Amino acid sequence: MNFSRLCTPNEHLINRRQWLGGTAAGLLGLACPTLADELKKKAKQVLFVWLDGGLSQLESWDPKPNTQFGGPFRAIPTAVPGIQVSELLPRTAKQMQHLAIVRSLCTKDNSHSAGVARIQRGDPKNRGVTYPFFGSAVAKWLGAGESGLPPYIWIKPGSGGFIPEDAGFLGPKYGALALGDGKPPENLLLNKSLTEADDIERNELRAKLDQRYAEQRRREVVEAQQYIFDMAAQLRKHRAIFDQSTFAPKDVERYGSHEFGRHMLLARRVLEAGVRFVKVNSYGWDTHGDNFNGHANLVPKVDQAFASLIEDLADRKMLDNVLVVMMSEFGRTPRINGHIGRDHWPEAWSLVMAGCGVKRGVVVGKTNNLGTYVDGPEHDIGHLFHTWFKALGVDPQNNEYDNNRQPLPIAHDDCQPIAELLS
């Protein structure tokens, strides 16, 4: 459904050509409803699952049992013969026919402060500007779509709100709307003393005042301010989407009643509503101490919810159009420290992908027998950004940002897509 934003009467003034174009489009929709449905089905979306702190590749996608650094967990077969994952991922193992594992990541930063931003921005060359996070970049290149909802929604534990910093030089309009604990922003609903008519009048007055305000301000600032009000209006119309009390009990049982399960179930609902980019965060993965018990507690929750979501996207025929990525800012050391933990290790680690534009049931790259280093071609985050953009139909070679007439590449110049990953 296409919800238009609140507007002023002047905004309804259109010329004859615009009217004819709109009428033709409307008649096309009436004559060919199935065509409109098909176009909507083809809209690309992204689910980006961020395991903050650093998932251990050895306890997930690249197990090395019975080796010096392998740890106590076994490797188990998956739905694809010849591919094995950690025994902590039994449900996801059954979905391997939909997945692609990359075991050849070799990145640079081993600190959270540098790694989190570097990975999510794609590590472009330093040009004196702050690049957007992947969610903001997707919002820019693919647009908001027809959902009427913000294009970049971030579901996370803790506090929420509008996060303009993610947008970098694109400007705050492309920031993230964070749903703290999966809940809409506070004070979203109108005060009981106000009617909808009152709210329309208020917004018409605000729009006129904004015109005066905009005369002496930067366009990006004015756009962001307008965007916040528009976004709040749309969220009010769609607030039922975020009501977790309406989750089907069967789905809650499948995904898990734990926090991550609820957030992934909400992510499915938000994707079904047509949101362009959905990020889901899980915290607590920085296992410098007691790594094995930590992963034995954390990984099964991810396994349950992630496998359920992949299964549902496949069953709903959404996996052809939704790019799924699950990763951290780096992996964890093969060597086990004195606290029975694993430290930060960007030299050789893994991620998992699925969905549109991605080959299924494959493993790309490998590490040596001990899991200490990549054996063969190494892939930095720049290669992944090229790959993700290509999978979404945005060619990094033929598209560039325009930062106030400064042309900038959308992915690292020295990298290229990972051909083995693209379908």
- pLDDT (tens digit, 9 = 90+) per residue, 333-368? 999 999 999 999 999 999 999 999 999 999 999 999
* Other CB atoms within 10 A of residue 413 CB: 10
- 23 assigned to some structural domain: no
Query: Is the model more confident about 296 or about 146?
Result: 296
- 344 assigned to some structural domain: yes
What is the domain-level CATH number for residue 391? 3.40.720.10
Residue 193: pLDDT band (50, 70, 90) is: confident
Of 25-29, 311-315, 324-328, least confident by mean pLDDT is 25-29
Residue 51: pLDDT band (50, 70, 90) is: very high
Per residue in 377-399, pLDDT tens? 999 999 999 999 999 999 999 99
Of 203-207, 243-247, 282-286, 417-421, least confident by mean pLDDT is 203-207
With 70 as the cut, is the pLDDT of residue 304 above it?
A: yes
With 90 as the cut, is the pLDDT of residue 41 above it?
A: no
Distance of alpha carbon 421 from the chain centroid? 18
pLDDT (0 to 100) of residue 197? 78
Identify the domain containing residue 165 by its residue range.
44-186+239-421
Of 124-128, 155-159, 193-197, least confident by mean pLDDT is 193-197
The tally of domains found in the chain comes to 1
Of 8-17, 115-124, 392-401, 414-423, least confident by mean pLDDT is 8-17
pLDDT (0 to 100) of residue 15? 41
With 70 as the cut, is the pLDDT of residue 32 above it?
A: no
- 339 assigned to some structural domain: yes
- 326 assigned to some structural domain: yes
How large is the average pLDDT for residues 225-243? 74
Greatest mean pLDDT among 91-95, 168-172, 239-243: 91-95
Residue 127: pLDDT band (50, 70, 90) is: confident
Per residue in 244-296, pLDDT tens? 889 999 999 999 999 999 999 999 999 999 999 999 999 999 999 999 999 99
Of 121-125, 192-196, 300-304, least confident by mean pLDDT is 192-196
What pTM, to 2 d.p., does this model score? 0.84
With 90 as the cut, is the pLDDT of residue 22 above it?
A: no
How large is the average pLDDT for residues 76-97? 98
Query: Is the model more confident about 149 or about 197?
Result: 149
With 70 as the cut, is the pLDDT of residue 161 above it?
A: yes
Residue 9: pLDDT band (50, 70, 90) is: very low
Query: Is the model more confident about 77 or about 21?
Result: 77
- 263 assigned to some structural domain: yes
| Distance, CA of 409 to CA of 400 (rounded, Å) | 5
- 231 assigned to some structural domain: no
- 54 assigned to some structural domain: yes
- 4 assigned to some structural domain: no
